[in-house]
Amino acid sequence: MLHHIAIVGSGPSGLFCADALLRQRPDLKIDVFDRLPTPYGLIRCGVAPDHQGTKAVTRQFDRLFGGGSLRFIGNVTVGTDLPLARVAEHYDAIVLALGAHADRPLGIPGENLPGRYGSMAFVGWYNGHPDFHALDPLLDRSGVAVIGMGNVAVDIVRVLGKTPAEMATSDICSHAAAKISGAPLTDLYMIGRRGPVEASFTSAELAELGRLDRVRPVVNRTDLPDAIPSGLDPADARVKEKNLQILHEFASRSDDKPVRLHFLFHTVPEAVLGNGRVEGLKLKGQDAPLTVGTVISAIGYRTATIGDLPPADERGVIANTDGLVAPGLYVVGWAKRGPSGTIPTNRTEAKSVADRILADFADDTAPAKSGNAALDAWLRQQGLVAIDWAGWKRIEAAEIAAARQGSPREKLILWEDLRRIGATP
């Protein structure tokens, strides 16, 4: 009988799945585990700090946790701290909502030089992910190259390009805001292997780059076709058409601003250059390298296999059939389909996996398992300090109290602070 469900990962896919399950079966008891002491996955640590509207979806999740059927168990890594086999002893069904948190390597010489960062680490640094607070990236030269032409690359150049006044209402961490505003930036490069039609950024994000106080987009008119090719899916065609229109408008600009944002299409990086640190980027077919002191790759993510969790492929996908991994074990979100799609994509998909779980258990007559009570005792015996919803609320209150004027919060960035405040009533 389906009564106790464990969800591993408190990002949007895990929480949308909990929502869809509880809407249909309010009697269920669901525990959401996360390795971080804080909930919301990439909504907190990925989504750009100046896009607070996007993060507002967390209010919906907060209401869910207030309902009494959903528990948060943070600071517990399932697979290592808490083996999956032990979770399976206590819960009737388990949903893996792990995301994909390792940067894909570039696979070119020089990528390990100081000054080259993956976007998960770089974004995590300015967004207060406790794994990356000490990244302290090199931002001491005038040029920065961002490899990738998706929305993550757009986020990074925008956050680097905005002035402190433009970031005032964001929740960018103060250490990152200070470093970025002190950086002597004059030239940002966005580099894509393919052309403007294939670029995966969306129109609203692209257009925003044209409205920044100190940044001028630089687009070479000869890179732009006059029209998009025929035969594209109509919804896709609308986005590409709009993108092309925006890029044509960028190409026509001649205004003078202190930071130039160069769009380099059909450009393949061959090597990160430098003696002891990043000093340049060699591009295929070009003799003169780009002079940059920082290279950030935003080319996708993968997952390391954790303890006794099922292995993931190179895109972080755990083998599944429409969300089913094995009897009683399911997967949602990036861990189900790979690292693509927006927050709403996870909502639709998590609902379908929730429906599948309820259908799979519809005729199940086995007695329900014990759920969290026995597991809590085991966690305590192991000396693991689980952080519950009240603990997260203490962290949140401390962050709001420390906020600089205009900003919603100053995130706690140290594991020890998060654990101390989260665990001490």
* Contact positions vs ligand FAD (CB under 6 A): 8-14, 33-36, 41-42, 46-47, 51, 54, 77-79, 97-99, 123, 152, 155, 306, 333-334, 341-343, 346
Q: What CA–CA distance (Å, rounded) separates 12 from 42?
A: 8
User: At closest approach, how far in Å is the CB of 310 from ligand FAD?
Assistant: 11
User: At closest approach, how far in Å is the CB of 61 from ligand FAD?
Assistant: 11
**Cα separations (Å) of 369 from 1, 80, 133, 356?**
8, 22, 40, 20
Of 217 and 316, the one with the shorter C-beta distance to ligand FAD is 316
Of 185 and 306, the one with the shorter C-beta distance to ligand FAD is 306
Find where tokens 């995301």 sit.
99
Side-chain half-sphere CA neighbours of 386 within 13 A: 23
Of 271 and 423, the one with the shorter C-beta distance to ligand FAD is 423
User: At closest approach, how far in Å is the CB of 306 from ligand FAD?
Assistant: 5
Burial environment of residue 86 by CB neighbours within 10 A (0 to 12, 13 to 18, 19 or more) = middle
**Cα separations (Å) of 126 from 28, 50, 122, 136, 171?**
37, 11, 7, 10, 9
Q: What CA–CA distance (Å, rounded) separates 292 from 288?
A: 12
User: At closest approach, how far in Å is the CB of 9 from ligand FAD?
Assistant: 3
Of 223 and 355, the one with the shorter C-beta distance to ligand FAD is 355
Contacts of 231 (CB under 8 A, 6+ apart): none
Of 159 and 259, the one with the shorter C-beta distance to ligand FAD is 159
User: At closest approach, how far in Å is the CB of 49 from ligand FAD?
Assistant: 10
User: At closest approach, how far in Å is the CB of 77 from ligand FAD?
Assistant: 4
Of 140 and 322, the one with the shorter C-beta distance to ligand FAD is 322
Of 36 and 160, the one with the shorter C-beta distance to ligand FAD is 36
Per-residue buried b or exposed e for 242-254, using 16+ beta carbons within 10 Å of the residue's own CB: bbbebbeebbeee
User: At closest approach, how far in Å is the CB of 420 from ligand FAD?
Assistant: 19
User: At closest approach, how far in Å is the CB of 121 from ligand FAD?
Assistant: 11
Contacts of 256 (CB under 8 A, 6+ apart): 216
Of 273 and 392, the one with the shorter C-beta distance to ligand FAD is 392
User: At closest approach, how far in Å is the CB of 76 from ligand FAD?
Assistant: 6
Q: What CA–CA distance (Å, rounded) separates 293 from 183?
A: 11
Q: What CA–CA distance (Å, rounded) separates 386 from 23?
A: 27
Of 142 and 345, the one with the shorter C-beta distance to ligand FAD is 345
Contacts of 360 (CB under 8 A, 6+ apart): 324
Q: Which two tokens stand for residue 321?
A: 């059939």
Q: What CA–CA distance (Å, rounded) separates 189 from 395?
A: 37
